[in-house]
A and B are shown apart, each in its own frame.
Chain A
Amino acid sequence: MISIARREAADFLYLEARLADTHAYDEWFALWTDDALYWIPCNDDVHDQRLHVSLVHEDHEGLVDRIARLKSGAAWAQDPKSRLARVVSNIELAASDDASATECVVHSTFNITSSRRGRIEVVAGRAVHRLRRTDDGLRMVSKTVLLVDNDEVMSNLTFLI
């Protein structure tokens, strides 16, 4: 029995999307658990996480650094910031393997339109979130982002994906 409802999970993903789109770095970071893993594989959707390079492979400490950098005033790749709007859709809850049902896995599809210096770019893919119910509400334990173009030549991906 999954005790996290589809509607609740969807609302969480929409909140996360809005915080990322609006560069609300601290609020976005607050959505993670301490045992977080933020993973964006490179070259393929599945590879050895240890010995194959990723686009992003960050634990809680790595996320702290990412947010500190974005807030530093010297993250030139986000100066000016990308203007962002993303659509999150095709949300599905997978059956949880957690007997206590405090966690669930959510599959979704996203499409981010970014605008920077007169150029419109699209970043699209599928995401897999593992959400956990905590005293503070739902939090992200892991987020894996499978970009459709993760084996292509890419441009600026320094905003929150």
Chain B
Amino acid sequence: MDAALADLVLPDRVHSSVYTDHAIFEQEIERIYHRGWTFVGHESEIPLPGDYRTRDVGRQPVIFVRSSDGEVRVLMNRCSHRGAVVCPYERGNAGFFTCAYHAWSYRNTGSLAVVPYDERYSDDFDKTLLGLRPAPLVGRYREFVFVCLSADGGSFDSYLNAGARRELDLFTDIAPGRRVSVTAGTHKYAYDGNWKLQVENNLDAYHFNFVHRSFWQIQAKRSGVRMDALGTGTSVGRIRDLGNGHVAWDYRPLNVKVGPRAISGDTRTPPVQAEYYAALIAAHGTEKTAELMTAAPAHAFIFPNLALIGSQIRVLRPQRVDRTEVHVYPSLLVGASDEVNERRVRAHEAFYGPAGGGATDDFEIFARVQKGLQSQVDPWVLHNRGVGHEEIDADGFVSAQITDELGSRAVFRRWRDVMSGAS
């Protein structure tokens, strides 16, 4: 166990070097991203045989592909010959991936099909051993695909625990067709700060009324909807620790009080929800629909790189200790009308994206935090809000008032275990 790293995370505070130290960042990439489970993509992104997306897992390039046999695979994007990426594009459809260097050509299953001029290789040259390397471990749940680039990264079932699966279920089941379609494009942006600043922020209801004042005040004036009710010190919303560094908000007490908010965001026009509810009831029945509408929307973080925020799948891509890319995929509800889905897209882009009115302000704050953390007279960062006021909720999870910093404490406890070798 790496005691020096473990000492940087105390139960109620974190040392600023975990956000600013280059060597620690390199260890995070290795221990968290290269040896552990991470989210890589959603199967609806690649519906047809040959459809692919290229992604980075930590720093390692992979191809997330639906092969001609219909199987979803994660292949290392590296020619078995001299190492060039065999697919330089971000997305597309291909039966073969052909390396541009010496034209070694691989089927979209990964197997090596063609090696030009192969008479110059010795008799024991075996193409069947030289396919694109598959990711050692792949796990799938509700079309969410996770990958682990180390064969001893632990089982998928223990990584994606029951609490995390519940959140993927909630995110998906509010579609009348019980599937979401991740086909609405991607907002890709970057900020000048450590990746964990976005992690904490995903779970931080406390900041909303201050950082996003310009947004919610305008919404309140336009529609009367008080988005600020969520993040006050007397809000009845809850946050809960799902284990393994996974955390979720629990909207149920708030939704019971103020009404369901499954189609969140666009408060400018009369709701189109009646038709949507009817479709949900047809799909799920009245009882299950009521349960979903009381719990929705999903708002969860799945350690280390996936967040579900309302309609959105958010993926973190750490670049440097002080530079982070965020890729955001608004999802569409299968079985809902185009009008409902358009509403989701419009509401999403009003707040998110590089030109949106919400997330851009978060990024400015992250840059200010990253700058402030250079001050070392007192190097500790406080995550102590609500310490001692945790409760065990009816589902057995450790739970707290929604503005308490339970979420970041849960994430950093997991971080400490993974980074110090305790888990």
Contact = CB atoms under 8 A, between A and B. Distances in A.
A47 B330 CA distance: 15
Interface stretch (B140-148, B301-309, B357-365): B357-365
A76 B365 contact: yes
A74 B365 CA distance: 12
Interface string B188-202: 111100000000000
Contacts of B22: none
Interface residues on B, range: 35 or more
Q: Which of B189, B214, B341 has the most CB of A within 10 A?
A: B214
Contact of B350 (A51, A65, A79, A156): A65
A53 B365 contact: no
Nearest to B360: A77
Nearest to B211: A76
Interface stretch (B3-11, B215-223, B405-413): B215-223
Interface stretch (A100-108, A131-139, A146-154): A146-154
B355 A155 contact: no
B222 A156 contact: no
A8 B360 CA distance: 36
Contact of B342 (A51, A69, A79, A153): A51
A18 to B, nearest CB: 20
B355 A157 contact: yes
B341 A40 contact: no
Contacts of B90: 151
A135 to B, nearest CB: 28
Interface stretch (B76-84, B101-109, B179-187, B236-244): B179-187
Contacts of A11: none
Given A40-B355, A79-B364, A52 B185 contact: yes
A55 interface: yes
Nearest to B348: A53
B187 A65 contact: no
A42 B268 contact: no
A7 interface: no
Interface in B211-269: 211, 213-215, 217-218, 222, 268
Contact of A56 (B218, B222, B332, B349): B349
B385 interface: no
Contact of B189 (A50, A69, A74, A155): A155
Contacts of A62: 350
A27 interface: no
Contacts of A53: 184-187, 330, 345, 348-349, 353
Contacts of A40: 355
B134 interface: no
Contact of B214 (A47, A74, A156, A157): A74
Interface in B292-341: 325, 330, 332, 338, 341
B185 A56 contact: no
Interface residues on A, range: 35 or more
A81 to B, nearest CB: 12
Interface of A is mostly: loop
A123 B341 CA distance: 30
B166 interface: no
Interface string A40-78: 101100010011111111000110011011001111110
Nearest to B365: A76
B338 to A, nearest CB: 6
B61 interface: no
B189 A75 contact: no
B364 A154 contact: no
Contact of A154 (B215, B342, B346, B354): B354
A52 B342 CA distance: 8
B360 A55 contact: no
Contacts of A156: 354, 360, 363-364
Contacts of A3: none
B366 to A, nearest CB: 10
B354 A50 contact: no
B213 A51 contact: no
Contacts of B191: 155
Q: Which of A53, A75, A152, A161 has the most CB of B within 10 A?
A: A53
Given A52-B345, A72-B218, A75-B214, A154 B184 contact: no
Given A47-B185, A50-B345, A77-B361, A155 B190 contact: yes
Closest 10 CB pairs of A and B: A77-B360, A72-B214, A74-B214, A154-B354, A157-B355, A76-B364, A53-B185, A157-B354, A76-B361, A74-B213
Interface of B: 90, 183-191, 211, 213-215, 217-218, 222, 268, 325, 330, 332, 338, 341-342, 345-346, 348-350, 353-355, 357, 360-361, 363-365, 367
27 contacts: A42-B185, A42-B353, A43-B185, A51-B184, A51-B332, A51-B338, A51-B341, A52-B185, A52-B345, A53-B184, A53-B185, A53-B187, A57-B346, A66-B357, A68-B214, A69-B357, A72-B214, A76-B211, A76-B364, A76-B365, A77-B360, A117-B367, A153-B188, A154-B189, A155-B189, A155-B190, A157-B354
Given A61-B268, A72-B217, A74-B214, 9 more contacts: A53-B187, A55-B355, A57-B349, A65-B218, A77-B364, A156-B354, A157-B354, A157-B360, A158-B355
